[in-house]
Structures are given as C-alpha cells and as structure tokens.
Structure 1
Amino acid sequence: MATLPLTADDQLQSLPEHTARLTTRSSAIHASRSNTPGQAPAGCHGEGGSHPLLSRDALDLAAHAGVAALTGGLSPTSVALAFLDWALHMAVAPGRMLELSGEALLASTEAAQGAMRTSVARPKHGHAPEDPRFADDAWAVWPFHVYRDGFLRIQHWWEIATTAIPGVEQHHEELVRFLARQWLDACAPSNFIATNPVVQRAAWSSGGTSFVTGAMHWLADLRDLMQGGSGGQHARPSTWLPGKHVAITPGKVVWRSELCELLQYAPTTSMVAKEPILIVPSWIMKYYILDLQPHDSLIRYLVDAGYTVYTISWRNPGESFRDVGLDAYLQEGLLAALAQVRERDAQRVHVVGYCLGGTLLAIAAAALFRDGRGDELKTMTLLAAQTDFTEPGELGLFIDASELAALDALMWRQGYLDGSQMSAAFQLLKARDLVWSRLMSEYLLGRRSQANDLMAWNADTTRLPYRMHSEYLTCLFLNNDLAEGRYCVGGRPVALSDIEAPAFVVGTERDHVSPWRSVYKLHLLTHNELTFLLTAGGHNAGIVSQPGHPERYYRCATRAAAEPYRGRQEFLSATEPVDGSWWPRWNAWLRDHSDGEVAGRAIVDGLEDAPGTYVFER
C-alpha cells in the first residue's frame, strides 16, 4: 500500500525545528522522505545526491535496534545511568546510610520477634488495602506471616532507600524506585508454591488437580504465544468478534481513506440534537472500546440519548506506513473526517477525543481557531487526554533521550511499533496485578480469569507507524511542544489558549496512562469555559463507566470563561463526589450546549455496514 499523499513540505511544516532536524536525519536513511525545498541536511553534498552519512547512520541505527530488540525496547544505558546516579549520590550521603542501617536493624529485630509468634494478623508495615496478595487469613499463620512480614519490611526499606536522595535527578530516582519495585514484586512470597499458603491449601483440597489444571493453562498459553497470539487464550480477540459480540451498534461506513474509516450510526429516536457528535479515538487502540456490548457501549448510549453519532476507525498500519507522520493523522484523519461530517450533517459539530485522539483534537482545535475556523466546533470533549506532558506519571519512566533512541531504532527496523511491544510496557506499569497475580492465579491455583469484552478488546492490539510515534514521543511527550507553544501546523505554531469552544474534560482517578493531575493542567493553558470531571476507575474502565456500574462516582466543576485558576487540591476539597456514572452528567452538558433538535435521518448511503473493514486488521 502506498503512503498517504502528503508532500514533504506538509510533513515538515507540522513539526517544530528540532523535530524537523530529526526528520532530516531520517530522510538520509529513507529515500522516501524529502527535504524542504531550499534546505539540505547537514553534511549533504549536491542536489539529490547520496548522503555521505547514510552508511554510518544506518549502521548506528542497526546496532541500536539490535540491542533494543534484546531488551524489549528498553534502553540499558538509561537504566545504568539511573542506578549509577543513585549509587554515587548514596555513597556521599552518610546520614541517609545511617538511617537505612537503623531501619535494617529495626526490621531485623522485629522479624526475629515475629518469627517466634504462631500468628500475626497485621505487620507493622502492613500491605495496602488494595493489594490482594496477602488478603487471605492464611497469611497470618506461622510460618507464612514470617515470609509476608519479611517481604513487606524489605519493600518498605527499598521505598526509603530510593526516595529523596540529595542530588539524584528526579527521573533517575523514579526509575530506580520503579525497577526496585519490579524486582520485589517478582520475588514476592505469593509467587511461589513453597511460600504461598493459599496455593498449598488449593492443592490439598483439590488433590493436586489445581496444579494439573494450571499446567494445562500454561501449555495452552505457550502454544498460543508460539502461534503469534497474546499468550492468553482466554482473552483472545476471536472470542469477542467485532460486529458479532462487540461493536454491534447499527451503522454504516460512510467514508474511507487509506488511514481511517468514518462510521455513522443509525438514529434510534425520532428527534436528535441539531449538532452531531464526532468521536476521535486513539490509534493506540481499536475504536470499539467505546462500542463494546450494548449495555456498556458509550456510542449506543449517545445514540439512544438522541444524538447523531460518528466515529473514526483507524487503520492498523503495517511496514508500508513507516513514513506516515502525526500531521497525516491530523490532516488526512481528524480534519478530513470533520469535513465529511459537516458536509453530511451540520456546520457545527460536538467533537470528542479519547486518549491520544484527545491530544490530536486539542491540536486540531487550536489550529482551527488560529485560522479563523473555530466555528466548525460546537464543543470539545477530551476523555483521559493529556495536553501538557510534564507530569505523565509512571509512563514517563520509559521516556528520556536514551530510551527514545532505542525505541526509535527498533521502530526504524520494523517500520512500526508492534502492539505487543507497547502492551509489555503498560503491563510493567502494573506488573503486580497484570503479570504476577495473574500468573499465580492461573498457573498455581488453576483458575482462569473470567473473560469479558474489555479484556478481549485489550488483547486486540494495534501497531503505530515509525514516523508518527517518533514525532509524538519527541515533540509532545519528551519536549512538551504543544503546551509550550512550539508545535507547528501548516508551518506556524498553535496555541491552546486560542481555543474558544466550551470544553468538557474527563480524568480518571487511577489512570497510569494519562494521570488526572496532568489532564487537569489544561486549566492553565486555556481561558475558555471548561468543565472538569474526575471519575472513579482507570484509563479504560473509568471511561467505560455505564449507568448502573457498581462503585462508580465522580466530581465535577465548571470554570467560567476567563475565571481565575483553581488548583487541583482545591478542586478535590471543594467538589463533593456524586454517586453513579458520569455519562448522564456529560449528556446533560451536551444538551445544554446544543441548539435544539431536528428530525432523525436514516442513513441512505454508505460503503458497508459498521463496524467496517479496518477494525478487523491484525
């Protein structure tokens, strides 16, 4: 498949200066990338001639790619520098070393005293309430409480040892603390037969069949992994097929490009809001996270609430997309789809962006208002989407110059970042729950996790084009160009402060991808009317939070246009939680910002039925 019809000028103009230099370097390696007319990369001789640095750069990238392939895309240099920084500063901190020695001595004394007791219900450094590893009462009985308490004391010691060391760079300190936690989680007594009383009890009561069942699970997952699956047969996408089990809201594909499809959903009410809704999901995920089963489909909820709903379904790119940049997703994806919606339905549109789709929407909105086209947007809704990346949470642990060099080289060799490679990084962030607890449950206890639609969607991974992902990580994540006014569209920078449309912004309390405190920073970058809602749940489950979902609540407050900034802690203190799903609150806000109703119109044309073709690409 040919790359999208973007000129090199268009592609380079969408990037700030330092990214243009990155693109120029890559153009020496990939002949398909041209330079801006009148400009030549440093070291280039003549017009259109071969680049003298071609072989050297290719050799360097190949070497980086080989190392990155062995380490799963992680940079060993970044890890080594972090530990060296921590160790050298610890060596010249005698006060901290004395404190740690005292903590170790105290822990040893307490451990010796605890080992003499037959039952200890609660250790001094007790496990967190949300940590299920030691929740069973069997952990309070000797000798298992000795294993548990010893582990928790070691964990507590490492938390002290990797916190607030004078002189250590914050990124290095956080990385050392994170890696220490990964090592400890791998060594937890809950992971081993000999030290886990729950596993021993299950084996005794089942006559050993729990081990047999667990071994069968392991063999099945190994076979699935060798066949190119996710290594978890119980959640394979084939058990939840789009169009059959999920993504079944009736609709049509009404427009298609090489990059995406535009889906329109059939109305279920006689009257609909005048302005339609266009949803821009992230291309890191399949769009049907928002259209799972009917009871937890946000798209179905909006259709039934009386809206004309459109959504973008991004293509799952392969190697041929390697040179498709972030500007292509903006111009040939979001803005092209917006033009189609306006042509088909209405001149003003409620636009919704989820995750990275929300970041792209913020860029598009800033560009439209800058160019005098802001009246195309009726409102802007951002779901778990960052616009300022200075506090990206633990995901930022994987982003520094060394890590990006390794990841860039790996993507250069492949032409894309594979979904399984990206999933591995996300699993590391929550390895305690997503890796070790799951392995213990399935292989030692012989219990399969109950498959559901969300798990199946999560296993239906997508790839990311090399150029686009490099630009995203460099421009937005590492250098924060969008928030600081350096990100360019059409050769000119865009500013989020230009956005005038009313905004509804959703953050989730336990989001490890887009931390809500980072999402909240849009208050500092804009002066428009902004309603901020903080809901229970994580990055996915917090958004897929249908009415009737148990244990859901939210906080919501509106900042009027040009109103003074209110800090995050003040927002928490002054805003009372409301029980229930946030969807009805958003629906009410959309209605308040709509200009009445019109008769619902059936879809009389279309290329094919929803969910289309691109959603099936794997």
Structure 2
Amino acid sequence: MAEMPTEPKAPESKAPEPQALQQFQQWTDLAGRSQQLMMEFWAKEHDTMPATDPLGMMATWQRATAAALADPKKLLDLQARYMTDAMALWQSFVTPGTAKSPVAEVKDKRFAGEGWQQAPAFDFLRQSYLLTSSYVLEATAGIDGLDAKEKARANFLVKQFVDAMSPSNFALTNPEVLKKTAESGGSNLLKGLEHLLDDLKAGRMRMTDEDAFEVGRNVAITPGKVVFENRLFQLIQYAPTTETVLTTPLLIFPPWINKFYILDLTAEKSFIRWAVEQGLTVFVVSWKSADATTADVTLDHYVGEGQLTALDAVLEICGTPSAHTIGYCVAGTTLAATLAVLQARGQAGKVATATFFTAQVDMSECGDLGVFVDDATMSTLAKLTADKPWLDGRNMAMTFNMLRSNDLIWSYVVNNYLMGRDYFPFDLLYWNSDATNVPALWHRSYLEDIYRDNLLVVPGGITVLGVPIDLGTVSTPSYIQGGKEDHIAPARSAYKLTSHFTGDKRFVLAGSGHIAGVVNPPSLKKYQYWTSETLPARFDDFVAGALETKGSWWPDWIAWLTPRSGGMTAPRLPGEGRAQGKYAAIEDAPGRYVKERI
C-alpha cells in the first residue's frame, strides 16, 4: 500500500541572525544617540546661533536671472550644446565604445576615490555633475546686461552653489561615504555629527587637531623677547644666531587680520628663524586682537600708533638711521600709505627698503574679494558689529574660505562630518583657525575707501595723519612678491604696485598662493619663482618674458637686500640695545597678545 502524502510542515521560524540583529541594534542606537545629541544642542545653543546672510546676494541672483532670460537665443544655443553632450555621455554608458563622454577624462580630486570609478552608477553621477556644472558656470559667465562687478558677484554666487551641490558632499551620493558607513555600522556618521555640533558651538569649522599645537610650545618658537607694547601691538626682537649681523635691522608687519606666526611656524618653515640665520636683526609686530579698547581705531592708528611707532622703536633700539620693512597682505597696503606719509614729512630715509608680500594698493583687479564690497555687504557688516565695535574674526575667516570652498569648506565637510575621520595635525591649518577680531571702524572704511572706491591710488584720495596720500611720490627701494595662484591678492593685482611707486623696484612671481607662495623655505625645495630685469607696464608681458627658477624665492630676496644693509656689525641682544632702559625685555617671545584666542 502506497504511503499517503503527509501535510507539508510550516517552516520553522528562525531567530534573526546574530549579525543582522547586532547591525539592527547598532543602527537603532545610532539614530537614538543622534537625536539625543541634536536635542541637547538645540536646547542649549538655539538662542545664540546667528541668523545672518553674510553675502546678501539675492538681488544679484534675481538681476542675473532676468539678464539671462533677456537673451533667449543664447540660452537656447547653450541648451542645444548641453543636450548634445548629455546624449553623448548617456550613450557612452548605455553602449560603451559607440560614443565618447565629453568629461570622461576630467580630473577632479573630489572624485579621486576608487568608488567613483568602480561602480558605473557613481561614475555616471560624477560625469553628469561635471558636465552640468560646467554649463551652468558658462551660462553665468556669458550673461550680458550686467556691469563687471555685478557679473563677478553672479559668477561667485553660482560657483558657491555649484560647489555645494557636488554629489561628493552628500552621504547617499558619495560611494566612499557609503562604504565607510557600511563598514562601521554608521559610527562614522555619529562621530561626524559630534564634530559638527562641536564646530557649531565653537562658531567655526575645525580643520585640524587643535590640541596638537600650542603657540610658544611647537609653533611661534623662535627665541626672542617682547621689548615694547601698546594697545595695538607687541614688538618682538629675536635673538641673533650669527657672530655678526647686518647693520640695517628688519621690521616685519604681518596682517592684523591674522596672527604673525604664519611667518614662524615650525622651525623648518619659519621665515623669521631663517631671516635671523641670514644675519638680520629681526623684529616683528604682533598685533592685538580687536576689543573694546580699539573701538576708535582706523587706518590713521595702524599707520601712526602702529607702523610708525614700531619703526621708531626699532631705530632707537639699534641706533640706525633706517630699517628694512616687510608688509604682508593688508599690512603691506598700509605700509604703502606709511611710506607716502614719511615721504611727505621728509622722513623717507627711515625706511631703507620695503618688501611687500602679496599686497595690493590698486584694487581695480582685486579678484573675488571684490564681491564683498557692495551696499548689501556693508549693511550686513553693520549688523554684525551693532553690539560691539569689532568684527568677529570667524566671519572673516569664513569669507576667505569661501574663495576656495572646495578645498577649505567642502573637503572638510566630507572628511569631518561624513567620513567621521579624526582631525589631522597640521600647523598651517592650526594657524588658519586661530582667528583675530578686527576693529569695525577700520574694516568698514578699508572696504569702502580702498577696496570699493579704490581711493588709495588716487593722489589725495585719502588722508592719513593729515597727509593727502600720493603713492607716486614713494621712491623707497621696493621688493614686490606675488603668488601665481593667489586667490586673495591676485598676482595681477600685486603687480600694479610696480606702476605706482618710483625708484628701484623688483617683482618676483612665486609659485603657489597667498600662504604657500610666501612660506616656502629653501630646504623644502618646492615650487618655483619668476623674475625679470625689466618691469613692463602689463603683467602679462612680465609673465611672457620672465625667467623661471626652481625652488624658494627667499635666496633671491636676501641677495637683493644684503647690498642695501650697510655692512656687518656686532649682534644685538633683545632688551640690551642702546635704549635698553626704555626697551627692556617685557616677556619672552611670542608674548601675550598672540596667545589670545576667540
């Protein structure tokens, strides 16, 4: 007898796999902890978060849109070319080998990870973004009906939007972030959230391990003494390291919108230490971060109470009739005005030479910073300083970072917040995060009078200490340095100094940008520089005829400076000069002012 078929058994219910259960619990815990962090943050910090629009560019956006729509033929032509390229891109993925993507070979470090090339979907996403963004930027650049400043503002605004919308900036469209999230069970996102909230509390985005550095311990460590101070600055004199020194001392004016130790980072990178080793008696001005005591400070004060006071102190300490000077960035702009004041007073001989690091006086081609000098921006600045007479340095730092948003904003969004990586210790980024406040009165007049209205190059356009400024009278020998890739003070703009001064001038175009182009010691053997024995009227003509030399430009500078330094003399010890009673050592370098953090 055949056996009767039995009822099929219902499948036994299985307990969840331990790994799957663990992963589920991990994600549940992640979500709960994330929510708790957010709730705690908003409960404590909501009332203190600023609600400002530092750009104030919506009106520009609206005018740019209207101008673009006013020329439909140009838009249709652009759209037709875009559709042709988009179809070629699509075909190259659907049927490989039948068409070539127009952006397949474009290199962009945002998409350098293997995940962008290994998965066709992400490679297509990458190329689609690159193609679309290139057409968006082209469309903005080609808008007619806007003046030059308005067009520059529109281009800047669209560039910020395009950079922000990169698929690399979002967790779900970045294969590297997705891989990390899967491998870590989401702990990278939790750690990134902690980084984000800490940064929001601090009011700035951290770029490096700030606990790895301390001013006076492993940055700003060149030995010296503070020998003078007032409410604006401390004057540091550095200890000599050579048996004899050049007779003419060197006085360095760093920008007060940053701290001086960009020129005194680690021993290997320190320009100050290197200059001392070349036999120079080096002084540097360490500016005080603005506070209530500097509420009245304007350009007059930075010239008189600042640069001229420091210069007189150096001359009295060393007993010399003149000193070499260096002005970096905005301090270089101010040094140009100081030279004009000295010329008008018959005291030009106090400055033996003037060196300008990435400094501008003629703002007719000042680059992207020019977008921040319209009425809307001035109104925003007024609101930011309504309850205090200074501008928070963190606002200014963000402005500079926006000029290179991919490198200085979005790369850290990805690394710090999405990948959840630990902060990497880097001295230059530590300095970059060590912001300083600036006096509101000075900042507003600087943006309006010098940046917006370009009055510094107009004879008599501005008056400093009662002197109508005329840069054409300045005959001080000048060494002018610009950075080829400088996004803050474009080399083309720095070169204009050569046409406003008279007398002996030398221009050096350094490789790299505003910081690395300056801080490039010979020992690193990095970059290059270009020089010419003639100074054509046009920057492009200088570039066309300049001679390239590999490595640092510092040896070129000291070779130019030495013959103008009056021979050798005995070394001068800080606090023990001719006027040691008046300029006795106050404290060890780098002093108190530079250690103040906001």
What is the CA–CA distance in structure 2 between the aligned matches of 1:122 and 1:264, rounded to whole Å? 63
Q: Cα distance, 1:339 vs. partner?
A: 0.5
- 1:6-405 equivalences under 5 Å are 70-75=51-56, 79-117=57-95, 123-125=101-103, 129=107, 131-140=108-117, 141-203=119-181, 207-208=183-184, 211-223=186-198, 225-226=200-201, 228=202, 230-232=204-206, 234-236=208-210, 238-345=211-318, 346-405=320-379
Cα contact 1:118–1:142 (8 A) shared by 2: no
For 1:336, the aligned partner's letter is T
SS in 2 for 1:247: coil
Cα contact 2:219–2:264 (8 A) shared by 1: yes
Cα contact 1:72–1:421 (8 A) shared by 2: no
Cα contact 2:520–2:526 (8 A) shared by 1: no
What is the CA–CA distance in structure 1 between the aligned matches of 2:398 and 2:104, rounded to whole Å? 29
Cα contact 2:207–2:423 (8 A) shared by 1: no
SS in 1 for 2:480: strand
Q: Cα distance, 1:473 vs. partner?
A: 0.9
Counterpart for residue 503 of structure 1: 478
Cα contact 1:529–1:558 (8 A) shared by 2: no
For 1:387, the aligned partner's letter is V
Counterpart for residue 444 of structure 1: 418
What is the CA–CA distance in structure 2 between the aligned matches of 1:364 and 1:421, rounded to whole Å? 28
Counterpart for residue 612 of structure 1: 591
What is the CA–CA distance in structure 2 between the aligned matches of 1:299 and 1:128, rounded to whole Å? 41
What is the CA–CA distance in structure 1 between the aligned matches of 2:66 and 2:511, rounded to whole Å? 41
Which has the larger displacement, 139-148 or 369-378?
A: 139-148
What is the CA–CA distance in structure 1 between the aligned matches of 2:434 and 2:492, rounded to whole Å? 29
Residue of 493, 496, 499 corresponding to 1:521: 496
Q: Cα distance, 1:296 vs. partner?
A: 0.6
What is the CA–CA distance in structure 2 between the aligned matches of 1:554 and 1:123, rounded to whole Å? 37
Q: Cα distance, 1:396 vs. partner?
A: 1.0
The verdict on how the C-alpha distance between 1:127 and 1:434 changes in structure 2, with shifts beyond 3 A counting, is farther
Residue of 388, 398, 401 corresponding to 1:414: 388
Counterpart for residue 434 of structure 2: 460
Residue of 451, 458, 480 corresponding to 1:477: 451
What is the CA–CA distance in structure 1 between the aligned matches of 2:159 and 2:99, rounded to whole Å? 24
Q: TM-score if structure 2 supplies the norm length?
A: 0.85
Structure 2, unaligned runs of 5 or more? 1-48, 577-583
Q: Cα distance, 1:360 vs. partner?
A: 0.8
What is the CA–CA distance in structure 2 between the aligned matches of 1:223 and 1:171, rounded to whole Å? 37
For 2:268, the aligned partner's letter is H
Cα contact 2:363–2:450 (8 A) shared by 1: yes
What is the CA–CA distance in structure 1 between the aligned matches of 2:101 and 2:255, rounded to whole Å? 44
Q: Cα distance, 1:137 vs. partner?
A: 4.6
Q: TM-score if structure 1 supplies the norm length?
A: 0.83
The verdict on how the C-alpha distance between 1:426 and 1:219 changes in structure 2, with shifts beyond 3 A counting, is same
What is the CA–CA distance in structure 1 between the aligned matches of 2:504 and 2:408, rounded to whole Å? 39
The superposition leaves residues 133-167 of structure 1 with CA deviations (integer Å, 9 ceiling, x where unpaired) of 12345423411121012111211211221123222
For 1:510, the aligned partner's letter is E
Cα contact 1:412–1:466 (8 A) shared by 2: no
What is the CA–CA distance in structure 1 between the aligned matches of 2:64 and 2:203, rounded to whole Å? 39
Q: Cα distance, 1:454 vs. partner?
A: 0.8
The verdict on how the C-alpha distance between 1:380 and 1:523 changes in structure 2, with shifts beyond 3 A counting, is same
Q: Cα distance, 1:216 vs. partner?
A: 1.6
SS in 1 for 2:268: helix
Cα contact 1:384–1:514 (8 A) shared by 2: yes
Counterpart for residue 59 of structure 1: none
Residue of 522, 532, 539 corresponding to 1:557: 532
The superposition leaves residues 64-123 of structure 1 with CA deviations (integer Å, 9 ceiling, x where unpaired) of xxxx95224332xxx233223222222321321221221232233224313415699984
The superposition leaves residues 234-289 of structure 1 with CA deviations (integer Å, 9 ceiling, x where unpaired) of 443x5321111111111111111111111101111111011000000110011111
For 1:612, the aligned partner's letter is G
Counterpart for residue 40 of structure 2: none
SS in 1 for 2:286: strand
What is the CA–CA distance in structure 2 between the aligned matches of 1:188 and 1:565, rounded to whole Å? 41
What is the CA–CA distance in structure 1 between the aligned matches of 2:97 and 2:404, rounded to whole Å? 31
For 2:596, the aligned partner's letter is E
Q: Cα distance, 1:175 vs. partner?
A: 1.8
Counterpart for residue 566 of structure 2: 595
Segments of 4+ moved more than 6 angstroms: 118-122
SS in 1 for 2:363: coil
Counterpart for residue 466 of structure 2: 491
Q: How many pairs does the alignment contain? A: 539
SS in 1 for 2:411: helix
RMSD, matched Cα? 2.3
The verdict on how the C-alpha distance between 1:235 and 1:601 changes in structure 2, with shifts beyond 3 A counting, is same
What is the CA–CA distance in structure 1 between the aligned matches of 2:390 and 2:595, rounded to whole Å? 18
For 2:411, the aligned partner's letter is S
Q: Cα distance, 1:402 vs. partner?
A: 2.5
Cα contact 1:103–1:157 (8 A) shared by 2: no
Which has the larger displacement, 106-115 or 244-253?
A: 106-115
Which has the larger displacement, 91-100 or 107-116?
A: 107-116
Q: Cα distance, 1:401 vs. partner?
A: 2.5
Q: Cα distance, 1:202 vs. partner?
A: 4.1
SS in 2 for 1:133: helix
Q: Cα distance, 1:221 vs. partner?
A: 4.5
Cα contact 2:233–2:287 (8 A) shared by 1: yes
